[in-house]
């Protein structure tokens, strides 16, 4: 995958999202749009495409502003009906809705405030999720904790798509990275995956090594 589809509609939504933010929040929005963030998300979606899967209802865990991952998924998988972004950061909700307005208006994208490591993602509006995507595994406890809480709302045969990094040596500058891993095997083990369909690593433009594991 070489590019993200940048249409006039995307340009309008992103402009409104950036203009809606200010001060520290604007810095966070701009940081979420850096080169490494895009490379990381494009790589994840490319590997999903290579597996020839057909996601329908996606649980996006700690998706942040989700302005890259959401269009990449919808543009490349016509089977997707719903993406629900479960976030703990209340500051990002309204901005993410601005950045992804086209999907929100079409009732295909929603943000739900939830601490996924201590609360189930089940709600009255949530479908049964067939795909779980977590691009922020280094920010939280191992995924086995999530599965204990939310198995009732996630299909027993759900596809797990996980990303993490090896930032242990950079903890001083990224204190929120509490659960870095050293390799793809460690990431898969943390989620108790038994059928690993893809695993790989990539050196990002920011100098960090990123890991992807996809499996059931």
Percent of the chain with pLDDT over 70: 96
Q: Give the chain's count of helices (H) and strands (E).
A: 8, 7
pLDDT for residue 172: 43
What is the per-residue pLDDT across 169-201, written as a single tens digit (0 to 9) for each?
554 455 677 788 999 999 999 999 999 999 999
Query: Does the residue 67 lie in any domain?
Result: yes
Residue 83 CA to residue 45 CA, distance in Å, equals 14
State whether 78 and 150 are in the same domain. no
Provide the domain limits for residue 199. 136-216
State whether 112 and 12 are in the same domain. yes
State whether 13 and 106 are in the same domain. yes
Residue 69 CA to residue 42 CA, distance in Å, equals 8
What is the per-residue pLDDT across 148-172, written as a single tens digit (0 to 9) for each?
888 788 988 999 999 999 876 554 4
Residue 126 CA to residue 28 CA, distance in Å, equals 28
State whether 147 and 192 are in the same domain. yes
Strand pairing of 209-215 and 57-61? Answer: unpaired
What is the per-residue pLDDT across 8-60, written as a single tens digit (0 to 9) for each?
999 999 999 999 999 999 999 999 999 999 999 999 999 999 999 999 999 99
State whether 15 and 111 are in the same domain. yes
pLDDT, average across residues 86-109: 97
Query: Does the residue 213 lie in any domain?
Result: yes
How many domains does the chain fold into?
A: 2
């Amino acid at each position: 995958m070489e590019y993200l589809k940048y249409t006039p509609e995307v340009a309008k939504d992103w402009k409104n999202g950036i203009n809606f933010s200010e001060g520290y929040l604007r810095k966070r929005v701009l940081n979420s749009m850096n080169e490494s963030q895009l490379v990381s998300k494009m790589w994840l979606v490319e590997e999903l495409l290579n597996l020839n899967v057909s996601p329908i209802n996606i649980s996006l865990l700690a998706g942040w502003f989700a302005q890259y991952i959401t269009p990449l998924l919808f543009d490349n998988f016509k089977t997707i009906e719903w993406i629900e972004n479960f976030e703990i950061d209340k500051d990002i909700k309204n901005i993410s809705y601005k950045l992804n307005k086209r999907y929100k208006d079409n009732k295909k994208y929603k943000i739900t405030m939830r601490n996924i490591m201590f609360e189930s993602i089940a709600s009255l509006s949530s479908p049964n999720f067939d795909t779980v995507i977590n691009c922020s595994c280094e920010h939280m406890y191992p995924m086995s904790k999530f599965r204990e809480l939310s198995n009732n709302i996630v299909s027993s045969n759900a596809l797990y798509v996980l990303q993490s990094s090896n930032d242990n040596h950079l903890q001083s500058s990224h204190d929120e990275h509490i659960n870095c891993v050293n390799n793809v095997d460690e990431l898969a083990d943390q989620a108790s995956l038994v059928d690993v369909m893809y695993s790989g690593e990539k050196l990002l433009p920011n100098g960090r090594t990123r890991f992807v594991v996809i499996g059931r």
